[in-house]
Amino acid sequence: MMAVSPNDMVAAILSAAQLTVSEREFDTMVRDYPVMRAAADSLYLPELEFVEPAVTFDSRTAFLPV
C-alpha cells in the first residue's frame, strides 16, 4: 500500500473540513502533522484493549427539570 505524504494528507483533511488556509499555514501544518500523528498513534497501547473510554451518556439527563 502506498504511503500518503503529509502534504497530501493535510490537503485532504483541510478539503474535507472545508478549511481554506494560506500557503504558509499549509506548510506549517504539513510540518506539524507527523508530530501530531505520532502523538495520536502513541495512545494505541495494547494494554488498553479492555479499557472503557471516558465518555458516558445518561438517557435521563434530557428529562431532568431545568
Binding-site ranges for another protein (CB under 8 A): 10, 13-14, 16-21, 25, 28-29, 31-33, 35-37, 39-40, 42-45, 47-48, 51-55, 61, 65-66
Query: Nearest approach, Cβ of 2 to another protein (angstroms)?
Result: 19
Q: Which amino acid is at 14?
A: L
Query: Nearest approach, Cβ of 3 to another protein (angstroms)?
Result: 17
Helices (H), 1-66: 6-17, 23-41
* Residue among 3 and 65 whose Cβ is closer to another protein: 65
Backbone angles phi, psi at 33, to 5 degrees: -55, -45
